[in-house]
Structure 1
Amino acid sequence: MTDFWIASGHHLCDRDADGRLLPTPDLWRAFLARPELLPPEEACEAERALHAALLRDPLRPVGEAELAALADPDAAENWQVFLQFRDRVMAQPTLEAAWIALYRGELRGVPPLFLQMLTQLVTRAALEGVEDAYVLRAGECLFRPQRAAIHQGALLLADEEVVEAAAREGDFGTLGRLMEEAGTPTRAVELDVLADPDPAAYAARSDAHDYALDIAENRPGQHALARALEHFIRHVMGERVAIRPAAVIEDQNWSWHVGLDTEATAIANDLWHGREVAQARLARILWLGVLEFEEQSRVLPRAAGKPVYLALAMDNAQRLRLKPQNLLAGLPLLAVEEAS
């Protein structure tokens, strides 16, 4: 299999018998090599010494006195944030368990960048062995915000960071003009729309995140998003599910839904409560899915045997920010102690 998302650092992890990720000192060294944690030129000797010591032994304990010795209080606070994140992750048996524990616990003080990096790692593990480039590209949506563009039957998602960087540099080309119609300034490089399931070409560019994905009805991207979510739920949450895309929800007995982002959650909640939703707001929903559990023993009794509807939407600036943690909180599953 062609490797992809090498920059995630997945190759710096070990695996347990179930393929879940075990952090190694080298993974933490990769965190320490990030610009956010490299001591700046003006850093004091104590901070430089701390960084060097952690590079030698990334799991070493760091006491309050060592942090208090740093000349810059902001730097000391930043190091404390990183060390608390490291310790919370290492307290769990796998990165997948750490991801669950973080999102079920207190997230205040955890930098969004660290959560994004962790989500990419567990998504990479979830897609191990997948040979469909559309599914791999759809997986990017679980940890990287997207920009949406709707034009002549296409419903394109492009990486928000790539779009914004491109807008600062040059001319987009055809896709750029679509992004301009979506309200994005178009000074940037040209982006390609993924048009081949062969993973080799995708993998060669996967760390650039510069392929756009068409998720319009009956396009490969629409189904790929369902497959990516299936893999993620099975790997991270241990639940086997089948998801099929849907055009609309026409179920008179609609009993459960999960919004995969803030906007979709609000729209779906209003619909479920019978509130009137303006057509322009409804049009923000870009993708709907119907989820069914293979095993019903851990499903809440009131939802057992019934479909769960998934919704994904863009905001009024046509940004799409999928939150896989909403699956953790929103799927109708019994608590572990209840299921046992």
Structure 2
Amino acid sequence: MPEFWVASGHHLTRLDRRGRMLVTDELLLAWLARPEILPPTDACATERALHRRLLDRPRAQVPEIEIAAMQDRDAQENWRLFLTLRDRLLQAGTIEDGYAAILREGIRLPVVFLSQLLQLILRNALDGCDDPQTLRAAECFFRPQRAHVKDGTLLLADDELVSLFEAEMHSSPLTAMFSGGLDSLDVLGGGNEWTYWSRSDAHTTVLNFGGDPQARQGMARALEAFMAHMLGVAVTVTPHLRAENIDLRWYVGLDRSGTAIGDALWHGRPAPDAPVGLFELRFADTSAVRADLAGQPVWLILGQDPDGRVRMKPQNLLTGLPLAEPALH
């Protein structure tokens, strides 16, 4: 089976009997090498000494007085956040349980840390997946996308990559013209799926979300895998093209805009925008659902921000479903 998302660090973890990822020293060392944590050249002696100590013992206790002794306040904050993440994961025992605890307890962490956890969890949940459309759709869980319409078709490209193209256009229009910019990216599908494996970490393929049913099916499969892995519930997710004649008894916004669309429809108001994606979720075991909603579908709504960005919030799936028992216990 081809490898994918090597940068996630999945190969640095080990699995427990439930198939969840144990927090290893190797993974912690990889995080200590991230640019958010690596001390800059002008870092104070206290920060450099702490970093060296953790490279030797990644699980070492760090007293607050050591953080407070750092000269740079931003460095203090970065280290407090990283150590909060590390300690919560170590306390929980696995990446998945730690992520659930962070959500349950309302611990506020930078988006970059949460995205790292989500990529790891999805890499584990999708281990063995051989469908590039599913994997490319799953990138939307942990990497914001930029929606744009070309030839009447909605496409999703990696937002960071699009931002780089835009910066190049402003700084060097001639270079941008010859590089091709956004139009130079390959739209996944039509026989080029095999190329995904060699560039999954580059995030250079475009998802034909509006024009290719396989792309929307890929998102449905990614949603199913995420919920099965994190919640232990089997669900079937079916993509729909339009929000017409649906019984909106329960809905979950997959992003902020999707929630706004669902709220408007729930209250009988016109939706502020058309959804980017609409999915019908049904539980295989109706006893897993609240009795008053057993047998009823849950609608998953994905929207986009006014600036065209799609920022998924997968945590909504863990906190917003009408389960008979709390999901994050």
The code of the aligned residue for 2:146 comes to R
Distance 1:175 1:34, change over 3 A: closer
Question: Which one of the candidate residues 176, 180, 188 is aligned to 1:194?
Answer: 188
Give the 3 Å change call, closer, same or farther, for CA 209–336 of structure 1 in structure 2: same
Deviation at 1:294, TM superposition (A): 0.6
* C-alpha deviation, 1:85, in angstroms: 1.4
Q: Deviations over 1:193-238 (max 9, x none)?
A: 1125776421210111010000125521011110111111111121
In structure 2, the CA distance between the partners of 1:53 and 1:314, relative to structure 1 (3 Å rule), is: same
Flag the 1:251–1:117 CA change in 2: closer, same or farther, 3 A: same
Deviation at 1:20, TM superposition (A): 1.5
Match of 1:315 in 2: 305
| 1:88-145 Cα deviation digits (max 9, x unpaired) | 111113211111111222233x111111101110011111110000001001000000
Equivalent position SS for 1:34: coil
1:131 and 1:199 in contact (8 A); partners too: no
Q: Secondary structure at the match of 2:237?
A: strand
Structure 1 residues 166 and 333: CA distance shift in structure 2, 3 A: same
Q: Which residue of 2 aligns with 1:330?
A: 320
Structure 1 residue 78: deviation in Å?
2.2
Give the letter for the 1:237 counterpart: L
Report how far residue 298 of structure 1 moved.
1.9
Deviations 1:152-194 (A, max 9, x none): 24221000001111222323877736xxxxxxxxxxxx21111
Separation in 2, partners of 1:55, 1:75: 17
Per-residue deviation, 1:256:
0.7
* Separation of aligned partners in 1, 2:219 and 2:180: 24
Aligned sequence identity (%):
46
Q: How does 1:37-56 map to 2 (within 5 A)?
A: 37-56=37-56
- Residues of 2 paired with 1:49 and 1:163: CA distance? 38
Matched residues in 1 for 2:246 and 2:162: separation?
A: 40
Q: Which residue of 2 aligns with 1:219?
A: 213
The Cα offsets for residues 283-315 of structure 1, whole Å up to 9 and x where unpaired, read as 3x1111100001122211121100111111112
Runs of 4+ in 1 over 6 A off after TM superposition: 172-175
Q: 2: distance between equivalents of 1:91 and 1:45? A: 29
Compute the displacement of 1:72 (Å). 2.9
Structure 2 residue 276 is the aligned partner of structure 1 residue 282: no
Which 5+ residue runs of structure 2 have no aligned equivalent? Answer: 169-175
Q: How does 1:1-340 map onto structure 2 within 5 Å?
A: 1-108=1-108, 110-169=109-168, 170-171=176-177, 176=182, 190-195=184-189, 200-216=194-210, 219-251=213-245, 253-277=247-271, 281-283=272-274, 285-336=275-326
Task: From the superposition, tell whether residues 172 and 163 of structure 1 become closer, same or farther in structure 2 (CA, over 3 Å).
Answer: farther
Q: Which amino acid aligns with 1:321?
A: R
Q: Offset of 1:265 from its aligned partner? A: 0.5
Does the 8 Å contact 1:134/1:197 carry over to 2? Answer: no
Kindly state the Cα deviation for residue 252 of structure 1 after the two structures are TM-superposed: 5.8
8 Å Cα contact 1:132-1:197 kept in structure 2: no
Alpha-carbon distance change, 329 to 60 in structure 1, aligned in 2, over 3 angstroms: same
RMSD (Å) for aligned C-alpha atoms? 2.2
8 A Cα contact 1:233 1:239, kept in partner? yes
AA matched with 1:16: D
Give the secondary structure class of the aligned counterpart of 2:290.
Answer: coil
Contact 1:133 1:196 in 2 (8 A): no
Confirm or deny: 8 A CA contact 2:36 2:78 kept in the other structure.
no
Unaligned runs of 5+ residues in structure 1 are 178-189
> Is 2:165–2:181's contact at 8 Å kept on the other side of the alignment?
no
C-alpha distance in 2 between matches for 1:202 and 1:137: 8
Partners of 1:239 and 1:172 in 2: CA distance: 49
Read off the aligned partner of 1:335 and give its amino acid letter: E
The C-alpha deviation readout for 1:51-103, integer Å capped at 9, x for no partner, is 00101111110112322332334323321221111111111132111111112
Are the structure 2 counterparts of residues 223 and 47 from structure 1 closer, same or farther at C-alpha, using a change threshold of 3 Å? Answer: same
Paired with 2:153 and 2:247, the residues of 1 have a C-alpha distance of 31
Equivalent-residue separation in structure 1 for 2:230 and 2:181 (angstroms): 34
Moved more, 216-225 or 1-10: 216-225
Q: Give the CA deviation at 1:43.
A: 1.3
- Alpha carbons of structure 1 residues 140 and 25: separation in structure 2 relative to 1, 3 Å: same
Rounded to whole Å, the distance in 1 between the matches of 2:93 and 2:291 is 30
- Kindly tell me: are residues 293 and 92 of structure 1, through their superposed partners in 2, closer, same or farther at Cα, counting changes over 3 Å? same
